[in-house]
Structure 1
Amino acid sequence: MPTYVAFLRAINLGPNRKFPKGDIAAATEAAGATDVATYINTGNVRLTTGMRSRAKVEAALEAAYLERAGFAVPTIAFTQAELAAVAADAEELNRPDLERHYLYLLKDEPTKDRLDALLAKDGAADQVVVRGRAAHLLLGEGYEAGKVDPWGIEKALGVVATNRNFNVVTTLARTWCS
């Protein structure tokens, strides 16, 4: 059976979107998954399921999370191989001069025009590199004055996304994808 790593969007932000790790695990199991594990309280879940379609996995998890949490929880799933590739890209792109390296994990690949418009905003202190369903936001010194809005990536790409930092993604890949 395939193993996926799912990333939950917009949970544990403020008082109204609380979704503790124990509830996430219980809801994931209620969706029919086994071998469930969570990592930190930002919505990172490893699961094994008989479902072979990413879209079906995401839909089943989103329905279970809605039922358990009482609010919609957009979910973005990657196979272990896909996440390992995203982490390998992150390692390749990471540089010692970066102030921040965020990864936006995308539900779907962005359209070419959305991607082109975002990439046109690259500046001297910041850069966006999109590979498949991951957008790497590479922020250098002085990025606060740069052209790329770190919080506007999802809107600019026009897809559902959630962000994690370099350390979380590479740690998850080392822990769950080997």
Structure 2
Amino acid sequence: MPDYIAFLRAINLGATRKFPKADIAAATEAAGGRDVETYINTGNVRLTTSLRSPARVRDALEQAYLADRGFEVPTLVFTPREVRELTERGLELRDGSGPGARHYVTLFHAPPDPAAIANLLAIDVEGERVVVEGRAAYTLIDGDIHTSRLLAAKEYAALGEGTARTITVLRTITEKWC
């Protein structure tokens, strides 16, 4: 049976949308997941399932999470190979940036529209850079994520629904599960 890695979006933020790791694991098992593992409270899940495509895994997980929580939990599903490849690319980009740069990787369900990518790349923000490849946008910021003009831009939002992780989290997930 194939392994998958799921990244849950917009959970454990503030007083609402709580989804503890133990509950995530139980709901993942209810969706047919086996050998379920979680990593930190941002919604990183490894599972084995008889389902044969990331899209089918996503549908099963989102239905199970909705049934468990009572709210939608957008879920992005990748194979371990895909996570390893996007992490390796992210580390390459990080190594080419200045010391102290923060590096975030936004993961998407599908590759963003080329026109949306072009509009985003047309923005020039000092100390901020983005590279969009496949289902990932690699954003390197000299400052803080909360004050990033690039991440707050409507052109970034136009890439589509995604969830962000630091390159450090992705590296750890790759070491543990890939």
Assess same fold via TM > 0.5: yes
- Offset at residue 122 of structure 1 (A): 3.5
AA at the equivalent of 1:125: G
For 1:94-139, what per-residue CA distance to the aligned partner results, in whole angstroms no more than 9, with x for missing partners? 0342431001011111111001001111433111001110100011
Listed as ranges, the gaps of 5+ residues in structure 2 are none
Q: Which segment drifts farther, 55-64 or 95-104?
A: 95-104
Q: Pick one of 129, 132, 135 that aligns with 1:130.
A: 132
1:108 aligns with 2:110: yes
Partner of 1:81: 81
**SS, match of residue 45 in structure 1:** strand
Partner of 1:10: 10
Structural RMSD (CA): 2.0
**SS, match of residue 158 in structure 2:** helix
Give the direction of change, closer, same or farther, for the CA distance of 1:111–1:26 in structure 2 (3 Å limit). same
* TM-score, normalisation: structure 1: 0.92
- Offset at residue 6 of structure 1 (A): 0.2
Contact 2:120–2:156, Cα closer than 8 Å, also in 1: no
Q: Percent identity?
A: 49
Give the direction of change, closer, same or farther, for the CA distance of 1:31–1:93 in structure 2 (3 Å limit). same
| Runs of 4+ more than 6 Å apart | 142-146
Give the direction of change, closer, same or farther, for the CA distance of 1:153–1:83 in structure 2 (3 Å limit). farther
Give the direction of change, closer, same or farther, for the CA distance of 1:146–1:26 in structure 2 (3 Å limit). closer
Contact 1:121–1:147, Cα closer than 8 Å, also in 2: no
Listed as ranges, the gaps of 5+ residues in structure 1 are none
Partner of 1:93: 93
* TM-score, normalisation: structure 2: 0.92
